[in-house]
């Protein structure tokens, strides 16, 4: 059964709440550590609303976030936080995402998160890598099975 078009925004809103809610639950109600960062709100929007776009595909989501947080942490460790490093880290992350063809606009916030929050290298794995995996799995389930969409694109 296909969902009526007029209800899609409601279903997507509930789906976004579910994805962020799962990450928030893992973060706040378990001893598993933090699974949620600010840029995941925009990532959730991307995988649900712009699901056909390259930027919303799992490869881009995962590696875009990974590259960007690594760049942010490296800039913080090597140069420290300043108005110069904030700009350069975002620019460098953007360039690397483009170079490796894993553009994911929400991930451009990750260098800012890393520098402004002074996070450690462990942040790469928890919450960034683990959180993106949860978003990808839930977005595949929601897009494919609830909304009957071809996501990720290229897989049938």
Distance CA 147, CA 143 (A): 5
Burial 92-118 (b: 16+ CB within 10 A, else e): bbbebbeeeebbbbbbbbbbbbbbeee
pLDDT one-digit tens code per residue, 102-152: 999 999 999 999 999 999 999 999 999 999 999 999 999 999 999 999 999
- Tell me the domain boundaries of the chain: 5-146
Give me the mean pLDDT over the 26-53 stretch: 97
What confidence category does residue 85 fall into, taking pLDDT thresholds of 50, 70 and 90? very high
pLDDT one-digit tens code per residue, 33-43: 999 999 999 99
Q: How many CB atoms lie within 10 A of CB 34?
A: 17
Look up the pTM and report it.
0.96
């Amino acid at each position: 059964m296909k969902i009526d078009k007029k209800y899609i925004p409601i279903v997507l809103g509930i789906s976004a709440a579910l994805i962020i809610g799962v990450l928030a639950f893992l973060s706040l109600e378990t001893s598993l550590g933090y699974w949620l960062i600010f840029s995941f709100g925009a990532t959730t929007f991307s995988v649900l609303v712009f699901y056909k776009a390259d930027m919303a595909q799992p490869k881009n989501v995962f590696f875009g976030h990974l590259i960007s947080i690594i760049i942010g942490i490296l800039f913080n460790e090597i140069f420290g936080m300043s108005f110069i490093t904030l700009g350069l880290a975002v620019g460098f992350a953007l360039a690397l995402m483009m170079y490796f063809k894993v553009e994911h606009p929400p991930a451009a916030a990750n260098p800012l998160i890393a520098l402004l929050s002074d996070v450690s290298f462990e942040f790469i794995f928890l919450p960034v890598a683990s959180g993106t995996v949860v978003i990808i799995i839930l977005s595949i389930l929601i897009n494919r099975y609830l909304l009957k969409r071809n996501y990720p694109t290229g897989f049938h």
